[in-house]
Every structure is written in C-alpha cells, then in structure tokens.
Amino acid sequence: MVEKLVGDAIPVKFMRYITAGNNYAIPIVTDTAKYRVQVRDAKNNPNNRLNPIYQQGKDYYEEFKHDENASLLKDDYKLNKREGS
C-alpha cells in the first residue's frame, strides 16, 4: 500500500528481527520490493521443498475452516522423494 502511494520516489523498507542465541534478536532493515521479489520467486520455484507443505496446509485449512469442531492444525505432511536423490 505504501509503495503505491510513494511510487519509486523513495524506497520502502521494513524492520524484521533475526534470532541470535537464546535471548537475542538483531534488528534488520530490508528493502520491501526486493524482499517481495525474493518471496514471489521462491513460491514460483518448482524445486522449493516448502511449496508442497504450504499447499497441503492451505488445502487442509480450506477443507475444515467451516467445521467448528475440527482442529486447524495439520499433524502430518507428505513429501515426495526428489528424483535423483
């Protein structure tokens, strides 16, 4: 939303934290546009092993989201063995 308002006039950044040890977190400032491209590319990469897990979780949620007695926490996920491994 902010990027639409300012266009390319100024870079939009966000702050996130990286955990370092038990009780430490390091603040990191990241360029929003670059991060968005990185996430989009990861979601579109057929070799990303998180994509099948994400899709299974999403499908499970869609199936049970209207069932007030169902747990929305999926217990198990299936990953197909990669070719060549």
What is the pLDDT tens value at each position of the chain, 85 positions in all?
Answer: 777 788 778 888 999 899 988 889 999 999 988 998 999 999 999 889 899 999 999 999 999 999 999 998 888 888 887 655 5
Residue 84 in any domain: the answer is no
Q: What tokens were used for 45?
A: 């990469």
Looking at the structure, tell me whether residues 3 and 36 fall in a common domain: yes
- pLDDT at residue 6, as a whole number: 83
**Is residue 36 domain-shared with residue 52, that is, in the same domain?**
no
Residue 83: the pLDDT is 56
Instruction: Verify that 26 and 56 share a domain, yes or no.
Output: no
What is the model's pLDDT at position 39? 92
The predicted structure's pLDDT at residue 69: 93
- The whole-number pLDDT of residue 84 equals 52
Determine the residue type at 31: D
Question: Residue 51 belongs to what domain range?
Answer: 46-77
Q: How many CB atoms lie within 10 A of CB 57?
A: 14
In a domain, 82, yes or no: no
Q: Into how many domains does the chain fold?
A: 2
39 and 72 within one domain: no
Residue by residue, DSSP assigns 10-62 as S--EEEEEEE-SSS-EEEEEEEHHHHHHHHHHHHH-TT-THHHHHHHHHHHHH
